[in-house]
Chain A
Amino acid sequence: MNFHAMKAIYVFEMARTFRTIVQSIVSPVISTCLYFVVFGTAIGSRIEQVDGVAYGSFIVPGLIMLSVLMQSLTNAAFGIYFPKFMGTMYELMSAPVSPFEAVIGYVGAAATKSLMIGLIILGTAHLFVPIQILHPVWMISFLILTCVSFAMFGFIIGIWAKNFEQLNLIPMLIITPLVFLGGSFYSIDMLPPVWQKISLFNPVVYLVSGFRWSFFGSADVAVAVSLGAVGGFMLLCLGVIWWIFKTGYRLKA
């Protein structure tokens, strides 16, 4: 194993995060505060409890997921897209680094950053609403799994993207709707039956549901199913990444 390379990539990526600390941390925190003001306080005060939880508290897991998902995805995507775009990727390609090691470095850094953001948002939310966490270990596990798997997905998008439009395409066109329709702000059984069925095809539903369960103990789908869905998604991403490096897809001429 090339441990020095993993460390070098990780340290470099984290340095990038800290260089842009304001955009990296402050902006998701501010937007989360806005969500709380609008949904939690303004609208939430007129909504009854959901599943026995005050609406303001109910949206906390969903909000964290929303930010963490987006952050993992975009951070990893940009992290690998930029060296490709600037040409500095040549060095990684010519170094004795295996796909697995490169992924640990890039994905590890992207996941670390979004995990930090997730925890900061949790802390911020705590200032607005009372929060209870029934299963803290599961909470952290779900959070880490999500960070890692979506950072991998972002890594794939970064390699696939040929230009900045494509880089923004998937987060905007696919992830945003999936997240908003993924039960971040509501419980699935608040939907009409047909939409409940359709929602089950949305992978984000499983994430949010499982994550919310770790907070409040109630879920839209069984926790095991949630866990399986995230794990399966992660394995799928890992497989695609392995294939990318094996074939040199969009990396080698």
Chain B
Amino acid sequence: MAFKNAAEQRSVCTILADPFPAPSAFLERSMAPILSIRNLRKSYDDGAEALKGISLDIEEGEVIALLGPNGAGKTTLISTICGLVRPTAGSVTVKGFDIIDDYREVRALIGLVPQEIMLESFQKVKDAFHHSRGLFNKPRDQARVDSLLKKLSLWDKRDSQNMTLSGGMRRRVMIGKALSHEPRILFLDEPTAGVDVELRKEMWDIVSELKNDGVTIILTTHYIEEAEAIAERVGVINGGELLLMEDKDTLMRKMGSKTLRIDLQESIEAIPAALAEYELTLEGGGETLLYTYDSTEERTGITRLLASVNTSGLRIRDVQTSQSSLEDIFVNLVRD
């Protein structure tokens, strides 16, 4: 991450939360973003508005996860940046190059792994890699292609035609093709959809390796644990709008509510009247009380609650707290 301190980091986060930021706000940043999206809109021919004015800055070397339900506009956003979809309005620049006017410079920097697996059936795996490299104006490089084949566990399949591969292997080929021209920005559109646990972990390793090489990675996913595991910043898109884009930890802290779980010595039928003011829920056959609170608040009410539990005559066996996951945050956001 290119931020010097937490305060600066937060300031970028607030900029991003605001779709129409004041120009002066940008001056606070120390570095020009590698990818800059401004009020991007896309209406498809049938009139459906898939992107409703998205603004977003991404720094070089960041790993960003975009979450959103089906039809949120994730693929449309990526496709627009990569030149597959014409934007209706707004602008996108990559390292200062405009995606339309300077498409050569922009595209040379970008690798795309689309959501769907689309491969030339009869092409051999190794030829597919060489072909992709060529399309991006890179000279043939046997060593690079070989190492990529090995890294993606495709070495044994290098002479097989794409159509003879399993689904997981095809996805690896898609990733290998995108990486064959050594992109500086990689878009992964749901890279782990329909992929087994082992391959998913492998992909995460690939992502972290690329990150170490300074590659900027933007991935979309439906799996919150994926965003939690590999992303530094998390964006939530719904209905063509970027609802939120924040540093993952900040997000967890800021939005994260905690749950206090009180296990009782004896089960109870109902919550005692003395505890009515706390909005508790009774679970586990009357043996467990759950109290949800905001951990970022000054007063969480825990002390008072515990005291009240004590005076109400209930005897406590155990107490636990748990942090809510990104999943809970996500569900809350999208539901609203």
Contact = CB atoms under 8 A, between A and B. Distances in A.
A binds B: yes
Contacts of B112: 90-91, 94
Interface string A13-53: 00110010000000000000000000000000000000000
A94 B137 contact: no
Interface stretch (B78-86, B220-228, B317-325): B78-86
B108 interface: yes
B132 A91 contact: yes
Contacts of B121: 86
B139 interface: yes
Nearest to B44: A253
B121 to A, nearest CB: 8
B135 A253 contact: no
Given A5-B136, A5-B137, A87-B116, 8 more contacts: A2-B104, A8-B134, A12-B127, A88-B118, A88-B120, A96-B106, A96-B136, A253-B79
Given A4-B137, A5-B134, A96-B104, A91 B177 contact: yes
A174 interface: no
Given A94-B107, A248-B86, A252-B86, A12 B118 contact: no
A12 B123 contact: yes
Given A4-B137, A94-B110, A96-B137, A253 B84 contact: yes
A92 interface: yes
Nearest to A86: B118
B82 to A, nearest CB: 4
Interface string A239-253: 000000000100011
A9 interface: yes
Interface in A97-148: 97-98
Nearest to A89: B118
Interface residues of A, number: 28
Nearest to B140: A4
Q: How large is the interface on B (under 10, 10 to 19, 20 to 34, 35 or more residues)?
A: 35 or more
Interface of A: 2-5, 7-9, 11-12, 15-16, 19, 83, 86-88, 90-98, 248, 252-253
A7 B137 contact: no
Interface in B130-165: 130-140
Nearest to A19: B122
A91 B179 CA distance: 12
Contacts of A8: 130-131, 133-135
B33 interface: no
B119 interface: yes
Contact of B84 (A5, A15, A90, A97): A90
A253 B138 contact: no
A86 B170 CA distance: 15
B239 interface: no
Nearest to A8: B134
Contacts of A3: 137
Contacts of B3: none
19 contacts: A2-B104, A2-B135, A3-B137, A8-B133, A8-B134, A11-B134, A12-B120, A16-B122, A88-B119, A90-B114, A91-B132, A92-B135, A93-B83, A94-B107, A95-B135, A252-B83, A252-B85, A253-B45, A253-B84
Contacts of B133: 4, 8
B118 A90 contact: yes
- Most B Cβ at <10 Å: residue of A91, A93, A97, A253: A91
Contacts of B120: 12, 83, 86, 88
A152 to B, nearest CB: 21
A96 B103 contact: yes
B180 to A, nearest CB: 10
Contacts of B137: 2-5, 96
A54 to B, nearest CB: 44
A8 to B, nearest CB: 3
B134 A7 contact: yes
Nearest to B84: A93
Contact of B135 (A5, A15, A19, A87): A5
- Most B Cβ at <10 Å: residue of A12, A87, A95: A95
